[in-house]
Amino acid sequence: MDVWQLIERDHENINQLIREIPYAMNGPGVIRSRERMLGDLMDALELHAIGLDASLYEPLSRESGTNTLIEELHRAHAEFMRQLKGLVRYRQKGSDGWLNAFEDVTFLVDQHLHQHVHELIPMARKRFSHEEAHRATQAFIRAKTIALRRRRSTTAGGIMSSEAALITTVTAVVAGLGYLAWRNGLFAASKQPHRSATPARPATAGYGVRHR
């Protein structure tokens, strides 16, 4: 997977959580509670931002004409994360007020992802060479992997509260690492010419020939 596919994978995960959260139950003993899934969503958004910072924002911010968009995306991320944290503190998560607030903040998230697809990615594709896109893929995977390791090491028992988002991200990271390994020639052995098979013995004269 390249950086564009990894970004798309993150978007799919985020959108799936946004669709599921309003229908989630809430309360003690509920495994996929609304509160738990909201944590999953916030983790997914934060990890996505970490990957983008390392892979696209950082190199694009060095070019003229791209700073405005990068700054706008940073501000938008900070704003909807602030509002999502407010929803975490909201006591009555099953109320209409909570659902209305959730709809408002996820509209901001949707706008943010729309900017990724229709502004950020086209801009990056236009400016990045093939090698720069390859480096962006490496940076995206490396940044998210480091962030995941830090979160696991600082969480009691080594288990994050957003296990669903973690599993999805790790799956994408592993697939991405496989892509990088292939690009770096670690699978070159599979491209070596195979040893020719032992020649078959010549057929015995008359074998298979029907005699009268």
pLDDT digits (tens, 9 = 90+) for 158-175: 444 444 445 455 555 555
Instruction: State the pLDDT at residue 199.
Output: 44
User: Would you call 102 exposed, middle or buried from its count of C-beta atoms within 10 A (0-12, 13-18, 19+)?
Assistant: buried
pLDDT digits (tens, 9 = 90+) for 88-133: 988 777 678 899 999 999 999 999 999 999 999 999 999 999 999 9
pTM beyond 0.85, yes or no: no
**Tokens found for residue 75:** 């501000």
Least confident of 64-68, 121-125, 133-137, 201-205: 201-205
| Stretch 44-61: mean pLDDT | 96
The CA distances from residue 39 to 17, 76, 200, 202, in Å, are 10, 19, 64, 70
Topology of domain 3-185 in CATH is: Four Helix Bundle (Hemerythrin (Met), subunit A) (1.20.120)
Whether the Cβ atoms of residue 137 and residue 180 lie closer than 8 Å to each other: yes
Question: What does the mean pLDDT of the chain come to?
Answer: 80
Least confident of 22-26, 127-131, 143-147, 152-156: 152-156
DSSP character at residue 156: G
Taking every pair of Cα atoms in the chain, the longest distance, rounded to a whole number of angstroms, is 96
